[in-house]
């Protein structure tokens, strides 16, 4: 694998993303909209919920608004990341095949897309954390940032898997929106989790570990090492699956026309 080729492919993919101004607008607008609506519709009433990843599942007491702000940041990061991952997997497949025809390896192309996803999600994590800070200062802001970036990493990888498996964009959009709404937008809310049955189902979903990292960091002094490691492992498995799917899509069967990128 050539680092120069990985960086070249990363640069090309990044330029393509930057050219789509509506995408950049939505990346910054969606979190701001989510936070604005949360501030307008929540109160400072004290709520109780459990920190599921902490030893003994201790109960914490915080204001409804603060809990909702941390949670909505996770939902925003997951939504944006899943769409970006879907876009990376479905957009310009023929152009990516031409790179392979020019001598790039599928592993190099996959590594470039994964690197771009991580870079973008780090930027989004910083933006979402920056929106959170004016309303309250978490106990450990760096840990909340890690939770947001981890959410993006996992859901970005999930979006790439969905984009690789589903041929049409509409199907992919429905697939990612459905899971994001159910998981990051509903079941991972710690207030719901405190009274939920069959919690094993919730713990198996993609946003569980990132939400625990963010909540532990925001409202406690407990270590986030275990959920952080497990979340990284969860995302790495999804990313490997996405890379395998992309590798199959980039295989060149027969003669590939360099002008069209198709056989």
Phi then psi for residue 143, to 5 deg, are -70, -40
Quick one: angle between helices 21-41 and 64-90, nearest 10?
Answer: 160
Per-residue confidence (pLDDT) for residue 105, from 0 to 100: 77
> Does residue 93 contact residue 233 with C-beta atoms inside 8 Å?
no
Given a contact cutoff of 8 angstroms between Cβ atoms, the answer to whether 71 and 228 are in contact is no
> Which residue's structure tokens are 């152009």?
95
Predicted TM-score (pTM) of this structure: 0.88
pLDDT of residue 25: 79
pLDDT given at position 78: 94
Residue 60 has φ and ψ, to the nearest 5°, of -115, 155
pLDDT of residue 158: 95
Average pLDDT, consecutive stretches of 10 residues, N- to C-terminus, the chain (263 residues): 75 75 80 93 89 84 92 94 86 66 74 85 92 91 95 93 86 90 91 85 94 93 92 94 82 47 45
């Amino acid at each position: 694998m050539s680092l120069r080729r990985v960086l070249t492919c990363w640069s090309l993919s990044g330029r393509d993303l930057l050219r789509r101004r509506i995408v950049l607008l939505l990346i910054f607008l969606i979190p701001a909209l989510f936070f604005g609506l949360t501030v307008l519709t929540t109160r400072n009433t004290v709520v109780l919920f459990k920190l599921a990843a902490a030893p003994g599942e201790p109960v914490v007491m915080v204001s409804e608004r603060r809990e909702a702000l941390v949670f909505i940041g996770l939902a925003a990061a997951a939504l944006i990341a899943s769409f970006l991952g879907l876009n990376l997997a479905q957009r310009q497949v023929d152009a990516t095949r031409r790179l392979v025809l020019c001598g790039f390896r599928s592993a190099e192309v996959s590594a470039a897309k994964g690197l771009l996803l991580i870079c973008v999600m780090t930027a989004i994590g910083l933006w979402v954390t920056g929106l959170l800070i004016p309303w309250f200062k978490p106990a450990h802001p760096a840990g909340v940032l890690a939770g947001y970036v981890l959410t993006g990493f996992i859901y970005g990888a999930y979006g790439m898997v969905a984009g690789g498996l589903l041929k049409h964009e509409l199907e992919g959009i429905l697939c990612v929106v459905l899971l994001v709404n159910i998981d990051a937008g509903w079941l991972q809310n710690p207030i719901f989790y405190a009274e939920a049955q069959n919690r094993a189902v919730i713990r198996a979903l993609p946003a569980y570990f990132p939400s625990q990292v963010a909540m532990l960091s925001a409202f406690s002094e407990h270590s986030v090492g275990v959920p952080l490691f497990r979340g990284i492992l969860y995302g790495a498995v999804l990313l490997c699956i996405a890379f395998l799917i992309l590798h199959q899509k980039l295989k060149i069967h027969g003669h590939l026309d360099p002008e069209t990128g198709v056989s």
